[in-house]
Structure 1
Amino acid sequence: MNQHSKALDSADLHALLSYLEHDAVPSIVMSTEYEILAANTAYRRQFASDGKPYLGHKCYAVSHHYDVPCDQAGEHCPLRVARASGTAERVLHVHHTPRGPEHVDVELRPILDAQAKVIGFVERLETVRQASAQANDQGLVGSSPAFNRALGDLRRVAGSDLPVLLLGPSGTGKELFARAVHEGSARANKPFVVVDCSGLTDTLFESELFGYERGAFTGAQSRKAGLIETAKGGTLFLDEIGDVPLSMQVKLLRLIESGTYRRVGGLDMIQADFRLVAATHKPLLEMASKGQFREDLYYRISAFPIRLPALRDRREDIALLVESLLARGAGAARKPMRVSTQALLMLADHDWPGNIRELRNVLERARLFADDGEIRPEHLRLDTIHVALARPASPALLDDAAFIAYVGAFQGSRKALAAALGISERSLYRRLDACKTTLPWRPGSVRPES
């Protein structure tokens, strides 16, 4: 073992591994120079079941297939940060696994010697089940930096009971994110109840939320449980909370603060038990300054805000979303669909003011015109198409030959190349690795160190 690390001797390593064997979470021991020194059984089962070698190999080579550490490939490197600070570091990454690319929540803890010097690391890796980095016929899908930031925030808060406020334009998948918060919590086996706050009058909102007693109003012939009661032990998702009538906001605030409520027409106080997740596309603070939304309610519901990215800010995910949405809309009696390269380029270059909801509608409409099973540009019928001839829409949508040719002809820095392609430097390295090519080093061209 000393051939890999002079700081961690074999006795240290054996003691660590014996301890980690009792941990159900996949864990590895690493040197300060990124080498994997040991792994527990959980890691071997989940991340090394394909038989590929990992001991003595660099963590970035095993997990990312990079030739350089993550920070040099445009990603956050927890080891570099933890080595400098001597404290734990946590990050969400997309790793290569025997099952393909997967989101992994990485927690890195330094091992200190008697002089508090970092001599190694223990890394715990938890696969994120609430989202997929591959095409999937259900749930959250994506792997772009913007998507991963939102997913990382979700992972941070899901295990707590803090109220969560999902912010972002319409059509960005707020209900899917809310459900993912629920599924990542201790309340996952309890109800997930959705309340659409749009278009509800004061009376209807109150009776739907709190329920009512028999005789509370005309037509109330029996007691009815409200959605708060239905959500007992689980999660209550208030969608478009910015539309809650002002007169009802004070009652909602009282519910959140006291944890109790009364049914309409009732006298008894009932104890509520739910985790609150709210969502809106409206600027609530701006509305509060105009008296259109209670400021005290805003601060109650926004203990942990998560901003969801617009589709135009995660263009790298469009090909993945297209495949996923077509699979979701296929159904038992519908034939599978494919999308031509030119159609994918057009989809990737569209501005998508309606976000994922608009993309889904465009694909469902195009499906009806694609009689031979292939969706082509003429089937999309986009209202506005901006063709960016100077920039490929996304390298994920170009074939390997076209991508390699573009990279080879590009004059400029690594950062400039990533910007020209409309992707992050991390995504650029992934595609280069997939194409088994490197950045050109000739004079005047791209230089990795720039």
Structure 2
Amino acid sequence: MTMLIATDKPSVATLGRMLEGYDCPAILVSADYRVLATNRAYRDAFGELDTARVHHCYQVSHGYDEPCDRAGESCPLAAATESGHKERVLHIHQTPRGREHVDVEMVPIHDDQQRLQFFIELLKPVPLASGSLGDVEMVGQSEAFNRMLSRIARVGPSDASVLLLGESGTGKELAARALHMASPRSRGALVTLECSGLTDTLFESELFGHVKGAFTGAHSNRQGLVELADGGTLFLDEIGDVPLPLQVKLLRLLETGTFRRVGSAEVRTSDFRLVCATHRDLPAMVDAGEFRSDLYYRINVFPIHTASLAERREDIPLLAASLLQRLGKGKKYHLTESAMRLLVDYHYRGNIRELRNLLQRAVVLTDTNVIDRHVIADAIGDGGAVVPDREAVAGESTWVDLKTAEARYLRELMAAHGNDKEKVARIAGISLRSLYRKLEPDDMNDAG
């Protein structure tokens, strides 16, 4: 994409007014990186620029003294100059709210003789994401994290179905929320169905709704989540856990947009954007006959990998600080350098969810607002894992059964919080249904 202007060079004021045609923050930049004009959306999002000074885009956005490509980052202006057409990149920009991830499009403007005149830079902040501490929930600066955000920014405005892939606890639900907020459907509802642990009847009832008398306990008509997602986004978490007999009904919904409530012959329609997530190896399940290939290709239009903490260890200090900021509820907690090293070295099988649980325990265990290595080691031990000693075992660690340890931790939370299941699920960062699944039936019976 390029833009042509007349050979007679227009005034900067004219080009500046042209920026108001964009509903996102936009700036006019010269070929030598000077910011010539901004639109109102930019000023509202990033603040006014001092017109008495010469500003360069790399100074305004990053605080650099030289262009991005000379400071170790990709430069969309240099790329657009070389290619002659629009270029796009994900950058972390300085904003009044801190460092934020921004999807940058650089559009070259040529005259009718194909001579390069200016660039229009369009900046679209990525919802829920930040490169620094703040109120947002997705934080990180690593290459793996930025790659995920870049794909969210790319596909978000479209209606394409997205499949979020990755280990448990890597933030797939937050990624689904970011996709919803980046889409034209953001004013509609984001409706989530966790597919794990549902019986056939309950799955159909949750997804499609039911009419009164459809089955025992159906005392009234009920809308399903598909209807509630009309005009918005339907997020099917752990899609790999949907039983084979129900996969065909889900496929029919996706192919036709039609469904029937359980116990009803009336055909209904719903217009929604589909986002699915799983930690399972779906291609292997397809090969084993455990997942329908036609359903797999229906949901896997645009796959996005959510990185594990092992893939983004450099983000752990920022994640830990962000989590402590929320867990502290107004009280500021600080990690010592040795405590942070232990957190970075630790092997997280539960990823961000496990990191959050570990820090929750540390907040309880510490006697001050300073969390040192001993507190973190104690918190790790309470979680059922053996603390790794890299010097003693040359990088090798031994781990106990984390599933058993997690159940023990949840039982302790239940006891500490008066068997309040909803509160415990909230503290542990899991859904109420996951809490039931992770605890043995006897545990739930004892909990009342």
State the TM-score, normalized to the length of structure 2.
Answer: 0.79
Matches of 1:124 and 1:216, distance apart in 2: 53
Matches of 2:291 and 2:156, distance apart in 1: 26
Shift of 1:97: 2.3
Structure 2 residue matching 1:237: 3-state secondary structure: strand
2:382 corresponds to 1:385: no
2:147 corresponds to 1:149: yes
Asked if structure 1 preserves the Cα contact closer than 8 Å seen for 2:211 and 2:218, the reply is yes
> In structure 2, what residue type is equivalent to 1:77?
C
Over the residues paired in the alignment, what is the CA RMSD in angstroms? 2.4
Matches of 1:272 and 1:287, distance apart in 2: 29
| 1:41-440 → structure 2 map (5 Å cutoff) | 41-49=40-48, 56-331=54-329, 335-381=331-377, 382=380, 383-385=386-388, 387=390
Matches of 1:220 and 1:59, distance apart in 2: 61
Structure 2 residue matching 1:238: 3-state secondary structure: strand
How many residue pairs get matched?
A: 380
> In structure 2, what residue type is equivalent to 1:132?
S
Q: 1:342 to 1:41 in 2, by over 3 A?
A: same
Off by >4 Å, runs of 4+ in structure 1: 7-10, 51-55, 386-389
Q: 1:342 to 1:72 in 2, by over 3 A?
A: same
Asked if structure 1 preserves the Cα contact closer than 8 Å seen for 2:129 and 2:136, the reply is no
> In structure 1, what residue type is equivalent to 2:388?
I
Q: 1:356 to 1:299 in 2, by over 3 A?
A: same
Residues 12-63 of structure 1 show CA distances to partners (whole Å, capped at 9, x for unaligned) of: 43321122245443322222222223333443443343x5679533322221
Matches of 2:335 and 2:255, distance apart in 1: 51
Shift of 1:302: 1.2
Matches of 1:54 and 1:266, distance apart in 2: 70
Asked if structure 2 preserves the Cα contact closer than 8 Å seen for 1:147 and 1:314, the reply is yes
Q: 1:388 to 1:276 in 2, by over 3 A?
A: farther
2:27 corresponds to 1:28: yes
Shift of 1:296: 0.8
Shift of 1:104: 1.6
Shift of 1:330: 2.6
> In structure 2, what residue type is equivalent to 1:199?
G
Shift of 1:141: 1.8
Asked if structure 1 preserves the Cα contact closer than 8 Å seen for 2:98 and 2:133, the reply is no
Asked if structure 2 preserves the Cα contact closer than 8 Å seen for 1:350 and 1:386, the reply is no
Matches of 2:52 and 2:149, distance apart in 1: 28
Matches of 1:58 and 1:386, distance apart in 2: 48
Q: 1:10 to 1:173 in 2, by over 3 A?
A: same
Shift of 1:298: 0.8
Asked if structure 1 preserves the Cα contact closer than 8 Å seen for 2:29 and 2:35, the reply is yes
2:12 maps to 13
Asked if structure 1 preserves the Cα contact closer than 8 Å seen for 2:170 and 2:352, the reply is yes
Matches of 1:165 and 1:112, distance apart in 2: 39
Structure 1 residue matching 2:10: 3-state secondary structure: helix
Residues 325-365 of structure 1 show CA distances to partners (whole Å, capped at 9, x for unaligned) of: 11222347xx4322112111211222322210110011011
Structure 2 residue matching 1:11: 3-state secondary structure: coil
> In structure 1, what residue type is equivalent to 2:153?
R
Shift of 1:109: 0.5
Matches of 1:8 and 1:355, distance apart in 2: 57
Residues 180-227 of structure 1 show CA distances to partners (whole Å, capped at 9, x for unaligned) of: 111222222222221111111222211221122222223323222222
Gaps of 5+ in 1: 1-6, 390-450
Matches of 1:87 and 1:258, distance apart in 2: 38
Shift of 1:231: 2.2
Matches of 1:215 and 1:260, distance apart in 2: 22
> In structure 2, what residue type is equivalent to 1:176?
L
Shift of 1:312: 1.9
2:427 maps to none
Asked if structure 1 preserves the Cα contact closer than 8 Å seen for 2:67 and 2:75, the reply is yes
Structure 2 residue matching 1:124: 3-state secondary structure: strand
Q: 1:188 to 1:208 in 2, by over 3 A?
A: same
Per mean C-alpha deviation after superposition, the further-off stretch among 181-190 and 372-381 is 181-190
Residues 294-318 of structure 1 show CA distances to partners (whole Å, capped at 9, x for unaligned) of: 1111111111111111112222221
State the TM-score, normalized to the length of structure 1.
Answer: 0.79
Matches of 1:86 and 1:388, distance apart in 2: 54
1:436 maps to none
Matches of 1:53 and 1:15, distance apart in 2: 17
Shift of 1:119: 2.6
